A = this chain, B = another copy of it.
């Protein structure tokens, strides 16, 4: 029996690995030939694949054929230069190499001892990135704080919410859970709502505060203050404010500095979610959006969005790592080791939900080294320039309107509905979205702002160039003309 299967034979790995590299490079060469949004129907794959796993091995070429014929048609091409939906999810050669190396070494870095390099590189690279963002020293590993790579911003928000929950409950007693109140805006990402559900925060104690165009969809300090006062009078316990730099719907920026001071005045945890726009803050001209970050207890950004680091790599910094560790540590016998027992090292298992963790800092390290800070800044600026271009095109056509100020690389717009339109442009703009997306030529997503259905055009794919903006605009304009004729 022994010797029948050599699943880790180095020469087979080499041969097959080279073939996969070529497959992926060829994919990128032909990426513009695919419909950006997959056009398959639900259940399409069940009809194409067998009902059970094969008993005997199949050959790699058959698998490649199946990937091309059966999998690729079901892919929505996030890396296409014509992808403008949601927010970008950047791939890059450096990120890809880092992912390969991480998969190749395949270590599980829950404790320092399980691969010291994995923990130490993460600490170092997150200090590098903190310095690029000019985060205050408290967030560096040299103080009481430090950075950690989470899988997603959802997990980042969850772990800091748990840290904050347990910190206040240690003071007021765990039976007071039902009194804890969280503050955010109606533009805050749904990850916060989900984190509250998980942490057992009572749903009626999540304050989803209204925003509107008068504040450009940013939280108003007054509204938050009033909510806190009213909750305090009701005997509740305000303990957490989540501010966003670059909201999902319109890339709005909450007033960081003021909210931070407010949080401090009431002894609340202050988290900044800069999942998308945090990357832009490595450019001096955008850094002011996170002025006041020194008041924050925690600050997160997704390097896997707009920072060339393949998914997943969500970066979180805290001012006091002991808050995280108190909430999330476990210390079973079978994981005990000298370095941990002596408190000589960081064990990132105690900073996150899972126990196991991949060597994700390799990706970020390769991105920073292969591209360098100056290039990364240019990369961000170029996308913002392209978004400006798109914004100008929208503005130049009187049938369209930009519905929220553009701050970074996201443009929110819609077709202006005819006067007395029954649903104020809902059907019209939904129709436009469906038409452009089902063309397969570009992919946009939508949101609702002030009750209106809005199209979102997010620039940020690494392959997007000027010509793709022009094509996108042409597709939108043509579909608009067709739609308006029939309207």
Contacts and interface: CB of A to CB of B under 8 A. Distances in A.
A71 B117 contact: yes
A21 B336 CA distance: 35
B75 A107 contact: yes
Nearest to A9: B93
A209 interface: no
A354 B151 contact: yes
Contacts of A70: 117
Contacts of A86: 108, 114, 334
A424 to B, nearest CB: 15
A246 to B, nearest CB: 13
Nearest to A114: B76
Interface stretch (A51-59, A316-324, A474-482): A51-59
Contact of A10 (B29, B108, B353, B385): B29
Contact of A53 (B132, B189, B358): B132
Interface in A96-120: 96-97, 99-101, 103-108, 112-118, 120
B106 A78 contact: yes
A103 B311 CA distance: 7
Nearest to A194: B330
Contact of A38 (B20, B115, B165): B115
A104 B99 CA distance: 9
A354 B42 CA distance: 23
Given A89-B106, A106-B91, A378-B5, A372 B57 contact: yes
B97 A16 contact: yes
User: Most chain-B Cβ atoms within 10 A of its Cβ — which of A58, A115, A166, A336?
Assistant: A115
A4 B371 CA distance: 10
Given A7-B308, A17-B25, A310-B106, A52 B128 contact: yes
Interface string A449-464: 0000000100000110
A52 to B, nearest CB: 5
A150 B31 CA distance: 29
A241 interface: no
B158 A20 contact: no
A279 to B, nearest CB: 13
A21 B21 contact: yes
Contacts of A333: 249, 446-448
14 contacts: A7-B90, A8-B93, A17-B24, A21-B100, A24-B104, A49-B121, A53-B128, A55-B374, A62-B369, A76-B114, A152-B355, A312-B356, A312-B358, A334-B446
Given A2-B382, A37-B113, A45-B117, 4 more contacts: A7-B379, A53-B368, A60-B370, A75-B105
